[in-house]
Each structure stands twice: as structure tokens, then as C-alpha cells.
A and B are shown apart, each in its own frame.
Chain A
Amino acid sequence: MDITWYLVLSALLFAVGVSGVLLRRSPLVILLCLELMLNAGNLALLAFSRSLGNQDGQVFALIVMVIAACEVVVGLGIIVAAYRRRIPLNVDDLRSLRG
């Protein structure tokens, strides 16, 4: 298969993730969409790695996975903490930083 297919697929997944961030209001789902975007990036990394015959891309993707995990952990911690304090879990309601 052409690498190009993988790359186009990665772009498509990324675009889907972006739309999700823009459209959904629940913070949990927004985090999920962030995961989508990260994984799209991972796919692109592996595709390039394969096309160049170099394993550096795979290592990079591994590190990205680690980062994604950390981010998820912290993000979910925030959601749980917010839920505990009875803050509405709706991103549109959390707008006190307005200009």
C-alpha cells in the first residue's frame, strides 16, 4: 500500500478529532476527541517511519503515547474533581475568564 493512503487517513482522523473538539460540550468527550487527534498523529508518524525505513518514528510515537496517557490522567482528574464540587460538566458554563 502506498504510504499516501495512511497519511490521508491520518489527516481525516485528525479532522474528525478537530470537529469533535469544536462541537461537543462535555469535557469527557472533548478529551476523547483529543485522543483521536493524538492517535492520528501517531499513525502519521508510523507511516513516515515505515516509508523512511527508520525506527525513530516509532520511538516518537511511543513517547507520544506516554504523553497522551499523562494528559488523560490529569484531565480525568480535573473532571472528577469538578464533579465532586458540583460544577456543571458543560464547557459552555465554565466561562468566567471572559474579556
Chain B
Amino acid sequence: MLLPVIAFAVTTLVILVVYGGVAAFFSWTRPEDGIYQMLAVMAMALLVAPLLTLSESAVALSARSRSDRLASVRLLGASSRTVRRLPMIEATLLACVGALIGVAVWLAVAPLVGLIQFRGAPLGAAVMLAPVQVAIVVLAVTAVALGRSVTGLRRVLITPLGVRTRQDAEHVRKWIVVIGLGALVVLAQIVPAAGGTGSAWGVIAVICIPFTLAMGVLRLTGPAIVGFVARRQLRQAQDAAQLVAARTVLESPQAAWHRVAGVAMASFVAVVGGVGFALIEMAGPGGDEAVLAADVRTGVFVVLAISFVMVACSVGVDEAGSVLDRKDLVLGLDRSGTPRAVMERARARAVVVPLLIASLGSAAVAGVMLFPLVGIVTIVQPLTLLTVAATLVTGVLLVRGALWATRPVVRSVIRSVDRH
């Protein structure tokens, strides 16, 4: 029960922080503030994926074990109405409690958010939301949880046997990778033109469209790439941890990618934003353009940080839930002498390998798309790209830390002993 509440709390907190920041941007009324508002909407769009993943983790936590129980009840002849009611109430209550906790934490951290500088000054009290806005967010989080619990239930109502048995691993279509890579090659011809415009507005405007398209391509090809790498790792696996980790990812490359997809987008943005910022600086902007360039850099790092925090929370909650869901298996493995370190290594590899593919792979794709520009920036403004790289590495370590933080859950499961 605690884990879904934590996940809903973090979801609500992030929504309120982002909403507050966007509201602050939209409170500015100068004509030149339009670009800030456009970038704020883009940033929000980037954060939708990891936010949805986190909220899905929260709902999925109790839904997984609930689905099994409900499938059994359905097989015994319970009516659809009976099966439908209780889980909806449970999901709604958990989401509501979590959302209220998220609001309480937001009230504590909002002053810190107000210290972030844009346009040469702290955002200040502009990040605070009105009570009705906060209430809308709480209701939205609760409604999403309710909606997801209903869609999850529909599978139980339609195919209770399908829920109870798990026969085949997921199959990801390879042709998607081919089409995706082809699309990226086409996009790579468009983007370099942005470097020749010589103006901050031109750089931002020309990069946005192909960038959005590239996001879509990454989303389609990510699972296939993760599946491809996992199959290779399965063939090469020589110890128990490598074998279990590869099979875990292959069970559902879609799910493995989905869990870290937010990082893919953020990493892509980091490289594109970093190159864009460096190009603007190279153009030697003055006045408003210099301020905009600095603010783009701040915005990129804020988006990266929020994305990685959400992915880390989502991974932590997912993993903890998975351990509790498979408590008997974890216990059985320990009792038959499987070292805890092996189980931890398998869990870590199953998350970190897709994470590295998402993060470094997306950054590399962005680098290839911007190839001549990346080369120029690397020579003339190396510090910018080094900072981006350091941020990505920190983000990966943050997610690894979230996994490490779930070790007490494994220990508590192993310490429980059946009593007969």
C-alpha cells in the first residue's frame, strides 16, 4: 500500500512543480516572452512520458497482484460488477492520499523552485498555484488512477485465464527499427540547415520540428533496439545474473523501454539543447539573446533533472513492487542458496542496460542528426557538451541509486519465514 502512495505523491509533486513553472512563464506579458512560453510547453510535452510512466507504475503496483486475485474470483463465478467495484475504490483512495501528500511536499519545496532564475531574476512567488489549481491537479491524478484501474480490470473481465497464464515472451517487430533508422537519416539532412541561420530564433525554430519527429521515431524503435541487445546478451550470457537479466528484458522489451523512455527523450533534448545553446553563444549574442541562451541552458538542465528523478522513482517503485509481487520466488531462490548479490545484479542489469540504451543511444542519435554542428561545438565550446555528458551520467547513477534503495525490500522478504 505504501509504495503506490509514494508514487502518486511524487507524480503530484512533479506536476505541481512543472505546472507552477509554466504558470510563472505564462504570467509574463512582454511580446518577446512568447518564445519562453513555447519552450515551456515543449518542456511539458517532454515530461509527459516519464510522468505517465510514473503514474502507471503507481497504478500497476497494486493492480498486478489484484489482477491475479480478481481473475481467480472471476473464474469462480463472481459477477463483473463485484469484480469491478472494490479495486476502483482502492485505486482511488490510494491516489487521493498520495496526491495530498504530494501537495504537502510541494508546499515545502515551492520556495526552492522559486529560486531558479529565468530572464535574469528568480521566478519567485510566480510558481505558487491557486488552491483551485492545486485541487484540479489532485482530482486529475485521482481520475487517471481510477481510469487506469478500469482499463486494467477490463483485461480481467474479458480473459481471466489470459491474466493467470503467461506463456510466450513478447515479440517486437524488427522492421520498425529499419523504418525508424531510415526516418532519422532523413531528419539528419534537415537539421544541419539550422546552423546557418545565424540567429537564436532561427536555431530554435528549425530544430523543434525535426526534433519532435525524432522523438516519435525513438519511441517506436526503442523497444526493438532493447530487444535486439537483450537477445545478444542472452546468447553471450555466462553467469546466472546475466542470464536472468537478459530473459527479464526479453519477457517484454516494450515494458523495459517504456520504463526508461522518459530518459531517452530527455537525453535527446540535452544534446540538441546543448548544441543549440552553444551555437547561440558562438554567434556572440547580446542583450535578450544572451539571456535567452542562458535560460535555454537552465531549462534543459531542469527538464533533464525532473526526467531522471521521475524515471528513478518509477524504477524504484516498479522494482519494489516486482519483488513483493514475486515474494514466493525470491524466498524460494534464497532458500535454495541463490546468493543475494546475484539476485541484485540480475535486477540491476535488467534496468540499467535498457537505461543506457535509452540515454546514451538517444544522445548518440541526436549527435548523429546534428553531426557537423556537434563537431564544431565540440571544438569551440567543449564545456557545454561536457556538462551535458556529466548530467546524463549523473542521471544514470540516480536511477542506479533508486535500485539500490530497494534492497531493504528484498531483505525484508527474505527475512520472512513461513510458519507451519
Please say whether chains A and B are actual partners in one complex: no
A residues in contact (CB < 8 Å) with B: none
